[in-house]
Amino acid sequence: MARRGHGEGSIYQRKDGRWAASISLEGGKRKTFYGKTRKEVQEQLKAVLYDQQKGMLVTGPQQQVGQFLTHWLENVHKQSIRSRT
C-alpha cells in the first residue's frame, strides 16, 4: 500500500485484530477511531477529515455555553460591539 500524506491520518491493525485510524489535531493531540474492519475505520477517518476541513471538528477544551459566549463577547468581538449590547 502507498503511504499517506501529511495530515491524512493513518490506518493500522492492532494486535487484538481490531482496526484503528488516528489523525493529528491542533496542539499536537491525536484522535483515534476503532472498528472491526478496515473499510469501517476508513469511512470514519474520511468523515473526520471532512469535518476538520469544514472547521466543524471541535479540538478545544470542553466548556459550557456561557463560558464560550463570555469569551466570544470579551475577546473576539469586543471592538465591534457597543457597550449597550
- pTM tops 0.75, yes or no: no
Alpha-carbon span 63 to 36, nearest angstrom = 32
Comparing 82 with 64, the larger pLDDT belongs to 64
Q: Does the pLDDT of residue 70 top 70, yes or no?
A: yes
Comparing 78 with 30, the larger pLDDT belongs to 30
CB 5 within 8 A of CB 26: no
Q: Name the β-bridge partners of 23.
A: 31
Which helix (H) or strand (E) segment holds residue 31: the answer is strand 30-35
**Which grid cell sits at 6?**
501529511
| Domain boundaries along the sequence of the chain | 10-76
Alpha-carbon span 52 to 49, nearest angstrom = 5
Average pLDDT over residues 41-66: 80
Q: Does the pLDDT of residue 4 top 80, yes or no?
A: no
Q: What is the overall mean pLDDT for the chain?
A: 81
